[in-house]
Amino acid sequence: MTKTGHCHCGDVSYEVNGEPTRMAQCHCNACRRITGTGHNVQAFFNSDDLNISDKTATHESTSDAGNIRTRHFCPNCGSRLFSYNSKTPNTVGISVGSFDDSSWFKPELIVYVSQRPNWDIIDESIKTHKLM
Ligand SMILES: [Zn+2]
Ligand SMILES: [Zn+2]
């Protein structure tokens, strides 16, 4: 099934085919600062399945494990849309809030719960990991 989404201003839209290979929620320091809230939720797909309408801006940082994380965002409105990890170059993480319909999403794993702020309540039925 094709899933569609776009940034807040609409300059960057995308479609992705196929099903997510992984669905996760992360509370790490980077995800909290990037999102400005308690956690980030991403659905991961095969990067070949993603088609993007327009150019994105990017920012790179090094993860705890020493991999390069490249995060893509709309150059106009700043909405964060996609992220890549140099360890898994064929996988793209898509910010779940940017999908036009995200009702299919259900996190399978919550990571970096050790860095979760106490006001960000999590679903106790989901498997957690202190770190990743
Ligand atoms: Zn935008
Ligand atoms: Zn994170």
* pLDDT value for 132: 63
Judged against a pLDDT cut of 90, whether residue 63 lies above it is answered with: no
Tokens (6 digits) for 92: 């793209």
Domain count, the chain: 1
Q: What tens digit of pLDDT does each residue of 75-101 get?
A: 999 999 999 999 999 999 999 999 999
0.85 exceeded by pTM: yes
Ligand lying closest to the C-alpha of residue 8: 1
Ligand lying closest to the C-alpha of residue 9: 1
Judged against a pLDDT cut of 90, whether residue 131 lies above it is answered with: no
Q: What is the mean pLDDT of the chain?
A: 95
**Residue 90 lies in domain:** 3-128
| Separation of CA 44 and ligand 1 centre (Å) | 21
- What type of residue sits at position 132? M
| Separation of CA 123 and ligand 1 centre (Å) | 31
| Separation of CA 55 and ligand 2 centre (Å) | 24
Tokens (6 digits) for 95: 């910010």
Q: Supply the CATH number for residue 29's domain.
A: 2.170.150.70
Whole-angstrom distance, CA of residue 9 vs CA of residue 77:
6
| Separation of CA 46 and ligand 2 centre (Å) | 19
